[in-house]
Structure 1
Amino acid sequence: MKIKIERKEKPDKPKKQKQIPTIKVGTHKKLTIALWVLLIGSMSFGIYKNFTAIDIHTVHEKEIIEKQVVDTNSIESFVESFSNEYFSWQQSQDSQTNRNERLKNYLTENLQQLNTEMVRSDIPTSSIVNSFQVWGVTQNNENAYDVLFSVGQQITEGENKKNITSTYSVTVYVDETGNMVIIKNPTINSKPQKSNYEPVLSDSDGTVDAVTTEEINSFLDTFFKLYPTATEKELSYYVSNQALDVINKDYVFVELVNSVCTQADNQVTVLVTVKYLDKETKVTQLSQFKLILQKNENWVIIKNN
């Protein structure tokens, strides 16, 4: 008897997988903390900048020049005093010498020399100043002022006398202490002339009807009869806001001339000429008013422009 012996094949042993070499990295605790601190700091700074951000705008600077009011009374007085000396002379040598000495109080040394022969020793005329008028004072730099003025003279030559008026400009230097000296000789000039300007005359624009116009004229007629001699208490019935002052004049009311009324909202503007007779001078006095009236219970003058 044969015995069959079966052999079981042994299963293959699993192959060992090759292990992938790894490098173990430590936590590097200090570096990590530093990075977190940097991150948190960056975020905090960003948030701070967001809340405190300043908008950048282009700034356009405007230069504001404030005009200063300069008191020129002393300059005008200085030029007037100078003119009385400069434009006056006599024929005698002594008076001419004295004149030159007095001019030293006004002129620079250079101008003193320039004017030495202004009045000749044989001059046939004499002069006195009888009028003086300043037309304008203009500051041409920090310490120098141009003065435009007219001077009237009575010129005598023998038995003949005549009055003349001439216009000049001079330049006055004023130092820090207020002392003055003339640095430009009187130079011929022209005085301001009459302007051709004519204001546009106002006409009624139809905003005030005929009945209201008559009512206003009646009110003004009554008021201006009283006005010259009215007391403050009497004015208060016709005037508010102290629009007109007490004048206490001896005027006799004659009439209203060229009354023109225009209305805006509840106020009426009246342009009117008031004719009075001045009992002291005996002349006709013509006063022009621009009044703003308002009606509450009665008409009242609330403003005088």
Structure 2
Amino acid sequence: MKLLFSKKEKQAQPKKEKKVKVRTGGKLKKSVLFLWILLISSLAFGIYKNFTAIDQHTIHETKIIEATISDTNAIESFTRNFVKDYYTWENESEVLEERTEKLTVYLTEELQALNADMVREDIPTSSTVQNINIWSLKEEKENTFSVVYSVQQKITEEEDSTLTSSTYRIVLYQDEQENLVIIQNPTIWDQPEKSDFTPKQVENNGTAESETVEEVTLFLESFFASYPTATGQELAYYVKNNALPVIKKDYTFSGFINPVFQGKENQIMVWLTVKYLDEETKAIQLSQYELILEKDTNWMIVE
């Protein structure tokens, strides 16, 4: 009886169910999505930083250019005064002493000593400055500037006089109070020469109708005939936005040379040389213009 009960009890036990494997794909998809969002965000941030860096760099360069321009007048004036005193002398001891004293205003003590024997007391020539040209002014480093200039001198020896021209470079230092001193002696240099650049010639391209060209030509002939003596009020009938200045000169209009017309939307672009006779000098004056005209009730020069 006991055995029977145990057998039945065993038979009554339910069978164990097999576990079904469940794939957890949701978490993997969320991880991949998160990585894609992170990648796109990093890329967008990198592009933003790149454009921001370019903008900041551009602003920085603009500030440097403005600072250089503000210093130009003082340095140029200082240089011109120096050149005039440095290259002027006479073969007289008093004049040479005055020259030496003047140079103390421009040169460091070291350079004053270096230049002590430049013009000797027994020098047979005298020199006067005829012309000064400043070719370049550059900021070499903070508060230090280089200037390239040429000077034309009239050299006189006994009864003979000649003109000579040379180019030099000096270096100056400017302190916080904008005071200047030359720290490098005039050194032989080269001056700019003529460039071989030739601008592209503009030609008529058929974009301006012949009737329009005739109208504009008549308008410009009328304008340039009265332009030299026109007042600001009279100029307003022909010109907008102060595109051309009042000149008040005694010129007589003589015609155009090689006018070129091109049309663009409601505007006409004109390239031309205007021929005038200068009544004061009796010479021919040739002025070149690039103009943009528009027509409202009548033609007007807008640029």
User: Shorter-chain TM-score: what band?
Assistant: 0.7 to 0.9
Corresponding position of 1:231: 231
Q: Distance in 2 between matches of 1:186 and 1:199?
A: 36
Tell me, yes or no, if structure 1 residue 141 matches structure 2 residue 138: no
| Runs (5+) with no aligned partner, structure 2 | 10-37
Corresponding position of 1:88: 88
The offset of 1:15, in angstroms, is: 7.9
Corresponding position of 1:40: none
Alignment of 1:20-39 (within 5 A): none
55-64 vs 154-163, which moves further: 55-64
Deviations 1:212-269 (A, max 9, x none): 2222212211222222233344333333333333333222211122111111112111
Change (3 A) 1:162 1:272: same
Corresponding position of 2:220: 220
Q: Which secondary structure does the structure 2 equivalent of 1:75 belong to?
A: helix
Question: Which amino acid counterpart does residue 76 of structure 2 have in structure 1?
Answer: E
Q: Which secondary structure does the structure 1 equivalent of 2:74 belong to?
A: helix
Q: Distance in 2 between matches of 1:200 and 1:229?
A: 33
Change (3 A) 1:140 1:225: same
**TM-score, length-scaled by structure 1:** 0.76
Tell me, yes or no, if structure 1 residue 79 matches structure 2 residue 46: no
Q: Which secondary structure does the structure 1 equivalent of 2:302 belong to?
A: strand
Question: Which amino acid counterpart does residue 107 of structure 2 have in structure 1?
Answer: L
**TM-score, length-scaled by structure 2:** 0.76
Tell me, yes or no, if structure 1 residue 301 matches structure 2 residue 286: no
Question: Which amino acid counterpart does residue 295 of structure 2 have in structure 1?
Answer: K
Corresponding position of 2:65: 68
Q: Which secondary structure does the structure 2 equivalent of 1:68 belong to?
A: helix
Corresponding position of 2:210: 210
Deviations 1:118-153 (A, max 9, x none): 122322112222322211111100011101111121
Change (3 A) 1:294 1:92: closer
Q: Distance in 2 between matches of 1:125 and 1:278?
A: 42
Alignment of 1:21-60 (within 5 A): 55-56=41-42, 57-58=45-46, 59-60=49-50
Which structure has greater helix proportion?
A: 2
Tell me, yes or no, if structure 1 residue 195 matches structure 2 residue 216: no
The offset of 1:186, in angstroms, is: 0.5
Corresponding position of 1:276: 276
- Structure possessing the higher radius of gyration over alpha carbons: 1
Corresponding position of 2:116: 116
Q: Distance in 1 between matches of 2:232 and 2:87?
A: 51
61-70 vs 288-297, which moves further: 61-70
| Runs (5+) with no aligned partner, structure 1 | 1-10, 18-52
Q: Distance in 1 between matches of 2:98 and 2:231?
A: 58
Tell me, yes or no, if structure 1 residue 173 matches structure 2 residue 170: no
Q: Which secondary structure does the structure 2 equivalent of 1:223 belong to?
A: helix
Q: Distance in 1 between matches of 2:99 and 2:235?
A: 58
The number of residues matched between the two structures is 263
Q: Share of identical aligned residues, percent?
A: 45
Deviations 1:97-120 (A, max 9, x none): 343233222222222222122122
Question: Which amino acid counterpart does residue 68 of structure 1 have in structure 2?
Answer: I
Corresponding position of 1:288: 288
The offset of 1:203, in angstroms, is: 0.9
235-244 vs 141-150, which moves further: 235-244
Change (3 A) 1:96 1:234: closer
Tell me, yes or no, if structure 1 residue 263 matches structure 2 residue 263: yes
Q: Distance in 1 between matches of 2:224 and 2:121?
A: 64
Q: Distance in 2 between matches of 1:212 and 1:203?
A: 17
The offset of 1:95, in angstroms, is: 3.3
Corresponding position of 1:246: 246
Question: Which amino acid counterpart does residue 86 of structure 1 have in structure 2?
Answer: Y
Question: Which amino acid counterpart does residue 154 of structure 2 have in structure 1?
Answer: Q
Q: Distance in 2 between matches of 1:88 and 1:232?
A: 46
